[in-house]
Structure formats: structure tokens, C-alpha cells
A = this chain, B = another copy of it.
Amino acid sequence: MTLPATHVACSNCNLRDLCLPVDLSPEEMSRLDALVTTRRKVLRGGHLFSSGDPFSSLFAVRTGFFKTAVTTPDGRDQVTGFQMAGEIIGLDGLAQGHYSCDAIALEDSEVCLMPFERVEEFSRAIPALQQHVHRVMSREIVREHGVMMLLGSMRAEERLATFLLNLVQRLHARGFSQSELVLRMTREEIGSYLGMKLETVSRTFSKFAEAGVVEVKQRHVRILNTDALERMTQAITQ
């Protein structure tokens, strides 16, 4: 599933704003090119890494789409996130020296490898990079707080509305439509992420469609009424 690696450089990558948004001097910038040594392609369905694999690198998604998931001893699994271009995967790995989740490509994808030893080395030399690394990790913590909120105190409709708005907002930041998206994941994967069964995901989509809020054709979703979706995320359930 993992294809041969290729050599590259960050300094003129068009995703730099997304995955390395730090102000650097030209001199620092050129040093940073040594941070990402290689890229790797992962075919749809392939594992970028698996739970238990020795930790060595962070990965920046260059193209494509991933999910990360943890698995219990008894075989249930929980999707912990979906990652698209410019987002960082593998932060869970350094806690114990091995990755604690699986990272799986949902479409043919390419990632940049950032050997973590090098990240630490460069962080010591370049404060702006150090700060960036910290911010990336903190953002992940904050994101997960949001997921806990979602899982702990929202009902099915609120969860799905929140999910759709989040997805479309991230896609929009990457130059895609504000109102149309193609889901890269199955209903089951959405359900796992949102803590509901695939049938409930499907039913909730249908409910949204009936209400004229979205148009759903399999994985193609068009948002017809963003305001209505936003209101749904704030419904006081009591």
C-alpha cells in the first residue's frame, strides 16, 4: 500500500500556509527544507501507520484524505478524526514511543514525513517553529474538547449538523465550495466518529433533506441552508 518515497522541499510548497504558518527569515526557511525529507504515497484503504508501530515521524497531509481510529481489545473501534491537506497526523505517537491509533487513507493520498527528532532539533534553534509545534498540539487538544462536547451532550441532529459545518468550513479554507462537498467516508465511519450507528446517520441525513436543509445523493452533499444547520447545532435540548 505504501509506495516509494520522493524528495522534496517546503519552501515553495503551496500548502505552507496551512501546515507551517510561521514567519521565518529566508535563512530559517531554507533550513526548514531539511525538515521534510520525503513524501510518501498511500493508496486508498492503505495504512499510513498502525497502532503499535514505532513512532518516528509526524505526517503532513499533502493530498488526499485520512481517518484516524483507535481500537479496543474487544474489537470495537472509534474514529478519532478525519484529516485533509495541510493537517498533521501522528501527534499521539510520542506519548509512548509508538502510535496509539491507525491512520488510514480514505482516498489515494500523499503525505510529507517530518522525522520528529528533526522537528525537535529545529524547534530548539527556531523559536517560531517551536511555538508552531506547540500550537499544533494544543489545537489538537482543543479540537478533541469539541468532539467530547459533541459526543457527550449533543443529540444526533446536532452532531451531524456540527460535523457537516466543520467539514465544509475546512474545505472552504482550502478553496472548495462553501455549500457543496463530497464525503470521503462511509456512513459507518461518520457514525463511529459521531458516536451513532450508521442507520441513524442515514436517517438524520434524510431528515435534513426532507426539511430542505441539505440535498443528499449518496456521498454528494449540498448545503441549502447554512443558517438552519447552524441553528441546529445550538438547539437547546433541555
Query: Chain A contact residues: over half helix, strand or loop, or mixed?
Result: helix
Stretch binding the partner chain, chosen from A8-16, A31-39, A74-82, A205-213: A74-82
- Residues 186-197 of chain A, each 1 if its beta carbon lies under 8 Å from chain B, else 0: 000000111100
**CB of A101 within 8 Å of the partner chain:** yes
* A120 (CB) vs chain B CBs: closest residue: B130
Copies in the complex: 2
User: Does B127 lie within 8 Å of A120, measured CB to CB?
Assistant: yes
Which B residues are in CB contact (< 8 Å) with A141? 91-92, 95, 137, 140-141, 144
User: Does A100 lie within 8 Å of B145, measured CB to CB?
Assistant: yes
* A94 (CB) vs chain B CBs: closest residue: B138
A123 to chain B, nearest CB (A): 7
User: Does B153 lie within 8 Å of A78, measured CB to CB?
Assistant: yes
Which B residues are in CB contact (< 8 Å) with A140? 141
Which A residues are closer than 8 A to B by beta carbons? 70, 72-78, 80, 91-96, 100-101, 120, 123-125, 127, 130-131, 133-135, 137-142, 144-149, 151-153, 192-195, 234-237
User: Does B120 lie within 8 Å of A131, measured CB to CB?
Assistant: yes
Which B residues are in CB contact (< 8 Å) with A124? 123-125, 127, 130
Which B residues are in CB contact (< 8 Å) with A234? 72-74
User: Does B123 lie within 8 Å of A130, measured CB to CB?
Assistant: yes
Query: Known interface pairs A123-B130, A130-B124, A134-B137. Does A149 touch B72 (Cβ–Cβ under 8 Å)?
Result: yes
Query: Known interface pairs A92-B141, A95-B139. Does A152 touch B153 (Cβ–Cβ under 8 Å)?
Result: no
